[in-house]
Amino acid sequence: MIAVLNGVNLNMLGQRDPAQYGTLTLTELETQVYAWAAERSLTARCFQTNHEGAFVDHIHECRGWASGVILNPGAWTHYAYAIRDALEIVAVPKVEVHLSDIAAREEWRRHSVIADVVDHSISGRGAEGYRDALDWLREAIASA
């Protein structure tokens, strides 16, 4: 089971700047993720919240069932050390995904406080970044 965690403001996809985040709604993105996972003989379980504590709770909880984690924490990426610390105690492979290319945007978005506790980072590939993350995790789980 792959945990797919989307954080703050990602429930507003479809209404956010399409040049950065594309036109899919979160429901459409999650539908796509479920299909991509199934094509790869994986099962995804998607979760979104705008509440940092709930996001942390979910990271703790998925230690019981996830064999891999894909997460896009939204703006928390850039400052939420509590999320970083929660991820550090998750032993399974973890991939950070950003729809936009955070390295090519405002200065404050260029730094990810979770980058050193995830195994792989994908940025600027739009929704396909989640597909690439599933591919990466499938390899990582198979070769573990």
Long-range residue pairs from 85-92, CB within 8 A, at least 24 positions apart, any chain = 86/56, 86/59, 86/60, 87/59, 87/114, 87/117, 87/118, 88/117, 89/60, 89/63, 90/59, 90/62, 90/63, 90/66, 91/63, 92/63, 92/66, 92/67, 92/68
Residues 7-36 that bind ligand DQA (CB under 6 A): 9
In the residue annotation, 98 being an active-site residue is answered as yes
Nearest distance from C-beta of residue 139 to ligand DQA, angstroms: 23
Residues 76-95 that bind ligand DQA (CB under 6 A): 77
Question: Is the CB of residue 90 less than 8 Å from the CB of residue 116?
Answer: no
Interface residue with ligand DQA, options 40, 45, 109, 125 (CB under 6 A): 109
Binding mask 35-74 for ligand DQA (x = CB under 6 A): -------------------------------------x-x
Nearest distance from C-beta of residue 132 to ligand DQA, angstroms: 13
Interface residue with ligand DQA, options 58, 84, 98, 131 (CB under 6 A): 98
Nearest distance from C-beta of residue 48 to ligand DQA, angstroms: 11
Residue 47: count of CB within 10 angstroms of its CB:
17
Cα separation, 112 vs 98, whole angstroms: 11
Q: Which of 58, 60, 98, 111 is catalytic?
A: 98
In the residue annotation, 21 being an active-site residue is answered as yes
Which active-site residues does the annotation give? 21, 98
